[in-house]
Chains A and B, each alone.
Chain A
Amino acid sequence: MTSHDILIWSRRMLVMTRKEFLQLLRDGVLLIFIAYAFTADIYLAASGVSLQLNQAATRVLDQDRSGASRELLGRFQAPYFRIDGALASSREGQQLLDEGRAMLTLDIPPQFEHDLQRGQPTAIQMQIDATNSVLGFLASSYAAQIVGGFGLEAGLHQAGLSGGRLTDLPVIENRSRVWYNPNQNDAWFMGITELLTVITVFAVLLPAAAMVREKERGTVEQLLVSPLSPFQIMFPKVISMTVVILLGSGLSLFAVLMPAFDLPARGSLVAFFGLTALYVFTTAGLGLFAATLARNLAQVGMLTILILAPMLFLSGAWTPPEAMPVWLRDMMYVSPLHYYIDIAFGLLLKGQSLRALLPTIGGMLLLGAVVFGFGLYRFRRQFG
């Protein structure tokens, strides 16, 4: 290859890339939605969505109305619980639960204090709306801690053991420290997850759509009779989308997540953007592959849902991979997002070094090469 060839090659690439940009810029609605997705959408998710037990609507049927029952109920507090008031009967509680207006009810029996003072065992009923099993579980585990602690104090006091003071007894105090996100700030998790979601949606959908559009309109035939190679047709599409996505990610990091939510961004941001570009290339390969299977945009739409939905929800941000069946966990090794989640959280929250991320990056690179190469191969065979 002479320098002249290289010049022509790069000039062709430049022209084609410019064409892709123009096409994108002329679609006003599309641009508005891209801007919305990278800013307002991420802001909303980060500010308003929390996956923790938060202000669980609690109703109380206190049949004892004693000092002890008040003391116990006083321990059900924000942020986990919110006592919404008393119940007149257990039937009313059942009705509120049915209508979804209460998440849990507590029922303290008559003679509660009396039994406690006489050292007789007693029990508190708790009904939980477990239609959301995770929150149902969290609610019962916090309630168990509260009731257990209360019972222990009462019991030790009753038994006259060291005046009920725990520190004088051979107990184990377990102090938990939460790393990387000490206050368990949901905004960081939700913000980053939402950013990854938006990046992924665009990275699969945009190149696939751009490719199929040419097919559908027959313009790809024109491109193919031009002196352009399949690579020169495909790659500029990916380049233009990557630039748009990188700009969008920059916008959401510097204009939304860092100023509004104090996202620490502990690692190297240069590395983050570099690896995001790599991720977009990898994922674009999946989109291009879908584009070679489809003949029109309607088909591409359905195919991309088939790729996107499992990728987004099973790659490990929402569901803990530990809880997934093994065959599915193995399948997720071919999801580029599986690697990118580790990279993004590693760089933005954990402050990991590139060296520590090397195996993950290697995995994504390898996958990217295979996926992109396969997409190109399919394209060549279809049109070469």
Chain B
Amino acid sequence: MNRQRIWAVAYKEWREIVRDRLFFTLAFVVPALLMLLFGYGLSLDVEDIPLAIVDYDHSVESRDYAYRFIDSRYFAFQGYVNNEQALGAMLASSHIRAAIIIPPQFGQRLQAGQASTVQTLVDGTFPFRAMTAKGYVTALNAAANQDTLARLLAQAKGVSLTQARQMIQPVKLEVRYLYNQSVKSIWSLAPKLLMVILMISPPFLTALGVVREKESGSIFNIYSATVSRGEFLAGKLAPYVVISSLNILILWLLAVGLFDAPFKGSWLFFMLASLIYVICTTGIGLLVSVAVRTQVAAMIVTAIVTVIPAVLYSGVLIPIPSLGPTAQLIAHLLPAMYYTNIVVGCFLKGVGFSALWPDMLVLAGYATTLFSIGYLMFHKRPNT
């Protein structure tokens, strides 16, 4: 590999990028803007679930019970409704996502010391939201029962309410949320957004690098030049790696400065690992560019192999162990999962090289493999 020839290719590519002012601007604006939009908007916290209540009983007990939901910050009360038919229509139109139906004689039964049944309807269109909503309902319901039972016990045994409460709640669950003490979703999200954005944006930067020259015919200059395959590919990749490295810095600053994500690990290690990751993701774009014949195909292929896997198979929303076997295989085949371990490790866990070197090694291997495949697929003589 001749360094001068790599430099020449890289310089030519760099000039082309810089001259295209809109493209050059977008190369920096797109990642930063995505970070801002997702950072503020991509909250997975399920709160303020719109809820309606049908109260067939109209007793003191039923109103007390309803108020537990109306007062809760997990639900946004949309009003009392007269009957179940009306609820159905509201659920269908997504006007509400959950509903409580309190039966007649609810209060009477409770006063007579009997159990009573309440029904909750949950919109299951989005299963994970439905599960969370059900969880809230169960928790509020359990709290109501504990209050009732504690009062009962206090009367029956002649003890104080606090004592009675302790008797029916003998076991406390003390939860410690590691790495993210306040369970703020933005803390755990911001580092992973780095991963997602650096998976989406760099491949699009590179995807057209080679195929554009193929379509315009300027690739023939390369075919007839003394530059070797490896030199050409390295030179093509270099400017995009530089741009993406600057983006790493910008995104890191936004995550730490704007979203207050804690960064506990080694900065140097993180930047080195990020650089390798960016070589991987720009490499994906370059490989696509070598493999296809038209720019349109290059863009579609890049979109399909990056945008969707960046979210589904990377561990940003779904932890890898919860994936099915095939999905786990895909996850292991992509660089995103390994980098997720690194960002989470460096930001939230404060672990460093000693724990994360295997992931970094895989990324390095990945970059090498990508470059080798690109090298093998790129021929200086087009098949005609």
Contacts and interface: CB of A to CB of B under 8 A. Distances in A.
A322 B176 contact: no
Contacts of B47: 322-323
Interface stretch (B4-12, B199-207, B222-230, B275-283): B199-207
B178 A30 contact: no
Given A48-B326, A202-B300, A305 B43 contact: no
A184 B124 CA distance: 6
Interface string A108-125: 000000011001111111
Contact of A322 (B22, B49, B118, B119): B49
Contact of A133 (B122, B175, B183, B205): B183
A97 B40 CA distance: 28
A41 B137 contact: no
A335 B350 CA distance: 39
Interface in B142-176: 142, 144-146, 148-149, 152-153, 156-157, 166-176
A278 to B, nearest CB: 19
Contacts of A41: 304, 308
Contact of B76 (A127, A166, A302, A322): A322
B34 A147 contact: no
Contacts of B324: 47-50
A175 B20 CA distance: 62
B125 A345 contact: yes
Contacts of A5: none
A134 B128 CA distance: 9
Interface of A is mostly: helix
A345 to B, nearest CB: 5
Contacts of B188: 130-133
Interface stretch (B23-31, B251-259, B371-379): B23-31
A156 B178 CA distance: 33
Contact of B172 (A49, A124, A201): A124
B296 A210 contact: yes
B319 A128 contact: no
B198 to A, nearest CB: 12
A181 interface: yes
Given A123-B173, A205-B303, A133 B185 contact: yes
A98 B349 contact: yes
A169 B349 CA distance: 47
Main secondary structure on chain B at its contact with chain A?
helix
A131 B178 CA distance: 8
From B94, B114, B128, B348, name the one whose CB has the most chain A CB atoms within 10 angstroms: B128
Interface string A52-63: 111101000000
A384 interface: no
A29 B301 CA distance: 8
A163 interface: no
A133 B44 contact: yes
Interface residues of B, number: 137
A342 B91 CA distance: 12
Contacts of A136: 177, 180, 183
B382 interface: no
A124 B173 contact: yes
Interface centre among A120, A151, A188, A194 (most CB of B within 10 A): A151
Contacts of A142: 135
Contacts of A180: 123-125
A177 B125 contact: no
B120 A175 contact: yes
B344 A131 contact: yes
Nearest to B48: A322
Interface stretch (A8-16, A247-255, A269-277, A290-298): A290-298
Nearest to A47: B324
B170 A171 contact: no
Contacts of B166: 121
Given A148-B169, A175-B118, A134 B300 contact: no
B299 interface: yes
B80 interface: no
A301 B157 CA distance: 73
Contact of B125 (A115, A189, A299): A189
Nearest to B65: A172
A304 B114 CA distance: 61
Interface centre among A132, A205, A293, A299 (most CB of B within 10 A): A132
Contacts of B319: 103, 132, 135
B168 A156 contact: yes
**Minimum-distance CB pairs A-B, first 8:** A48-B327, A48-B324, A181-B124, A302-B26, A130-B177, A51-B128, A151-B171, A178-B124
Given A170-B112, A319-B43, 13 more contacts: A30-B292, A30-B301, A45-B308, A97-B178, A127-B175, A129-B179, A135-B319, A140-B173, A143-B173, A155-B168, A176-B119, A305-B307, A356-B92
Interface of B: 20, 22-23, 26-27, 29-30, 33-34, 37-38, 40-50, 65, 76, 89, 91-94, 97, 109-132, 134-139, 141-142, 144-146, 148-149, 152-153, 156-157, 166-181, 183-185, 187-189, 200-201, 204-205, 207-208, 212, 291-297, 299-304, 307-308, 311-313, 315, 317-319, 321-328, 330, 341, 344, 348-349, 351, 355
29 contacts: A29-B291, A50-B323, A52-B322, A121-B171, A124-B171, A125-B174, A126-B174, A126-B175, A131-B180, A133-B45, A137-B183, A147-B171, A152-B169, A155-B168, A158-B170, A166-B115, A169-B152, A170-B109, A172-B116, A173-B115, A175-B118, A213-B295, A294-B22, A301-B204, A302-B30, A302-B205, A310-B38, A314-B38, A349-B125
